[in-house]
Amino acid sequence: MRNTVSLQAIKSYVIDKNGAVSAVELVEYFKNRFNKTTIYRVLARLEEQGEVHSVIGKDANTYYATCHSTCSKESHNDNHVHRQCKKCGELSCVEIEMRAPTSNDFIIEETKILLIGVCKNCQ
Ligand SMILES: [Zn+2]
Ligand SMILES: [Zn+2]
Ligand SMILES: [Zn+2]
């Protein structure tokens, strides 16, 4: 039961954010309600269910963003680019599909590209 409450709360926070949220931010925000272990477990579960996808930021933190309708329990189709502002740290999804290059003797299953720069607010 408690698990459902934390799952719903964390899921809506990520959806409302309209960008990516770091696990650190979630732990800080929910510190009076859920412990760290619960938060990490919920995030892993949401990712497994195809609700959110994770991105490693330039600060080595893991960020989570809402998935689009093509993602499901079976597979994630988040081959878009991500970008992160080096000044404020904001990380977001960019709707540019990346076509993976071909590589002999290697099966490419996903591409992870992070563009680093300066966002509109920080320019
Ligand atoms: Zn996904
Ligand atoms: Zn910025
Ligand atoms: Zn994304």
- Chain segment 60-84, per-residue pLDDT in tens: 999 999 998 789 999 888 888 999 9
Q: Domain boundaries in the chain?
A: 2-122
How much is the mean pLDDT over the chain? 92
- Measure 100 CA to ligand 3 centroid, in angstroms: 16
| Separation CA 24–CA 30 (nearest Å) | 10
CA of 18 to the centre of ligand 3 (A): 11
Residue 29: pLDDT over 80: yes
Expressed in angstroms and rounded, the spacing between residue 10 Cα and the centre of ligand 1 is 16
Q: Is the pLDDT of residue 45 over 90?
A: yes
Q: Could you list which residues have their CB under 5 Å from ion ligand 2?
A: 85, 87-88, 119, 122
Distance 51 CA to ligand 1 centre (A): 6
Report the topology of domain 2-122.
Answer: Arc Repressor Mutant, subunit A (1.10.10)
Q: What is the sign, positive or negative, of the torsion defined by CA atoms of 121, 22, 98, 86?
A: positive
DSSP 116: E
Query: C-alpha dihedral over 52, 57, 59, 62, to 10 degrees?
Result: 20
Question: What's the maximum distance between 2 C-alpha atoms anywhere in the chain?
Answer: 51
pLDDT band of 1, cuts 50, 70, 90: very low
From ligand 1's centre to the CA of 77, what distance in Å?
5
CB 65 within 8 A of CB 80: no
Ligand nearest to the CA of 110: 1
Distance 120 CA to ligand 2 centre (A): 7
